[in-house]
Copies of this chain bind each other. A is one copy, B any other.
Amino acid sequence: MLECLLYNTSSKPLSLTLSDKVCLFRPMLNMNCMSKSAERACLPGSGNDVSSRNGMEDSVHSFKAADLVIELSQTHKAKPDLTNLVFGTVFSDHMLTIEWTSNGGWQKPHIKPFGNLSLHPACSAMHYAVQLFEGMKAYRDADDKVRLFRPMLNMNRMANSAERACLPAFDRAELVECIRRLVQVDLEWVPKSDSASLYIRPTFLGTEPSLGVKKPSRALLYVILSPVGSYFSTGAKPVSLWADSKYIRAWRGGTGDCKMGGNYGASIYAQYEAADYGCQQVLWLYGDDHQITEVGTMNMFLFWNNENGEEELATPPLDGIILPGITRQSILELTRKWGEFKVCERYLTMADLRCALKEGRVKEMFGSGTACVVSPVGRILYQGENLHIPCQDDFPQLASRLMKELTDIQYGRTQSDWSVLV
């Protein structure tokens, strides 16, 4: 409602009235309340509660999993040893590709042998970063069944990113079904291990073959699969962070709440500067008051006794500059269900943190994301000073508990409707 009200009092010409289309202009802002019903409705043809600038009702005009054309690979690559595998370097035997044109709409989805893409050299994904991606995983449980974790949340976020990137809408449940079929084809690539998984990378590119900066008339949605080992294979070590306002990850009026490529490429330079300072990742700050926003490519959580002496788990609110992480949302929902301490989406500044550290009020700080689930923070270099964050036994209590509860659901050890069988 806030978005609608803001809209109504904005600088729109008076000749325009507030319509449903206007209300849904940035549907991301409504995602928290939408996501539960959308997640439950994880069935093909039901995922049409995000309207788009194109006015396309995705359930009507989308590709359909029932139309899948499957061409199996004649060769099979050897499965890698996951022990020392670098993330995202090995891919499975097949990929999913779905083409779209403004004239012909969505074409039939294809599952075919993994291989290079043939792209026009003027392709808008390569000149103007008309591109977005998602990150999710398939897990093999103790009964040898393969599971996805809250896949509709990825689809919702992907649909929102697509709208922001001026890429066409699609039926999110149909895409989940296509991904499920792809994973079935490459089922042997899902590691038989409760610490490894098959990383799933949906990618969506504008493939307009001309140089004008405009909405693409062609697009390519594809999905590739990469087996990944344990994030903490060499033992969990708390990460060190470089906190400096020299580089800003995202800003209001930008694309920080969407999983668009431009957010990531622009961050690499800062990542290497962090390394120059002996830190592993960047703690992204925002504004003159140095608000804490994200950690590397993860959301950020602080577990502390807040200014009022309340025990609180805090993370920045989804105000447009924060990526709405699936793990972030799951942590908020889990801990709210526990009801053991205050759980709050709120602003946190470096001054708040420094003061709390001085007064011994900080319990834990950690990043959250699909790759690691949770990743404790041990040290922050800020204004020339090393701030040490409490980290009992390298993996503090709340982070450990969240890691266990979430992976128990992901690997099917705990029954939950967050886990969807492939």
A206, A212, A265: residue with the most chain B Cβ atoms closer than 10 Å: A265
Q: Which residues of B contact A105 (CB under 8 A)?
A: none
Q: How far is the CA of A122 from the CA of B91 in the complex (A)?
A: 9
Q: Which residues of B contact A266 (CB under 8 A)?
A: 129, 164, 254-255, 260, 262
Q: How far is the CA of A267 from the CA of B262 in the complex (A)?
A: 12
A88-136 contacts to B (CB < 8 Å): 88-89, 91, 95, 114-131, 133
Contact A384 B215 (CB under 8 A): no
Contact A126 B205 (CB under 8 A): yes
In the complex, per-residue mask of A150-172: 1 if CB is within 8 Å of any chain B CB, else 0: 00000000000001111000000
Contact B119 A95 (CB under 8 A): no
Contact B246 A212 (CB under 8 A): no
Q: How far is the CA of A346 from the CA of B277 in the complex (A)?
A: 35
A63: CB under 8 A from chain B? Answer: no
Contact B383 A11 (CB under 8 A): yes
Contact B11 A382 (CB under 8 A): yes
Interface stretch, picked from A37-45, A268-276, A401-409, is A268-276
A14: CB under 8 A from chain B? Answer: yes
A168-195 contacts to B (CB < 8 Å): none
In the complex, per-residue mask of A71-95: 1 if CB is within 8 Å of any chain B CB, else 0: 0000000000000001111010001
A317: CB under 8 A from chain B? Answer: no
Q: Which residues of B contact A248 (CB under 8 A)?
A: 251-254
Report which of B86, B114, B121, B253 forms a contact with A203, defined as CB distance below 8 A: B121
Tell me whether A265 and B211 are in contact in the complex, defined as CB-CB below 8 angstroms, given that A122-B201, A126-B205 are known contacts: no
Which chain B residue lies CB-closest to A54?
B272
Q: How far is the CA of A114 from the CA of B124 in the complex (A)?
A: 17
A396: CB under 8 A from chain B? Answer: no
A148: CB under 8 A from chain B? Answer: no
A53: CB under 8 A from chain B? Answer: yes
Report which of B121, B205, B265, B381 forms a contact with A260, defined as CB distance below 8 A: B265
Q: Which residues of B contact A214 (CB under 8 A)?
A: 268, 271
Report which of B119, B129, B269 forms a contact with A265, defined as CB distance below 8 A: B129
A218-266 contacts to B (CB < 8 Å): 222, 224, 226, 244-248, 251-255, 260-266
Which chain B residue lies CB-closest to A266?
B255
A16, A133, A261: residue with the most chain B Cβ atoms closer than 10 Å: A261
Q: Which residues of B contact A124 (CB under 8 A)?
A: 265
Contact B127 A272 (CB under 8 A): no
Report which of B117, B128, B269, B382 forms a contact with A121, defined as CB distance below 8 A: B117
Which chain B residue lies CB-closest to A226?
B211
A10, A163, A206: residue with the most chain B Cβ atoms closer than 10 Å: A10
A129, A165, A222: residue with the most chain B Cβ atoms closer than 10 Å: A129
Q: Which residues of B contact A268 (CB under 8 A)?
A: 128, 130, 165-166, 213-215
A210: CB under 8 A from chain B? Answer: yes
A86, A126, A251: residue with the most chain B Cβ atoms closer than 10 Å: A126
A13: CB under 8 A from chain B? Answer: yes
Q: Which residues of B contact A260 (CB under 8 A)?
A: 129, 262, 265-266
Contacts A88-B210, A130-B268 known; 7 new A-B pairs at CB < 8 A: A115-B121, A122-B226, A129-B264, A130-B265, A211-B226, A213-B268, A248-B253
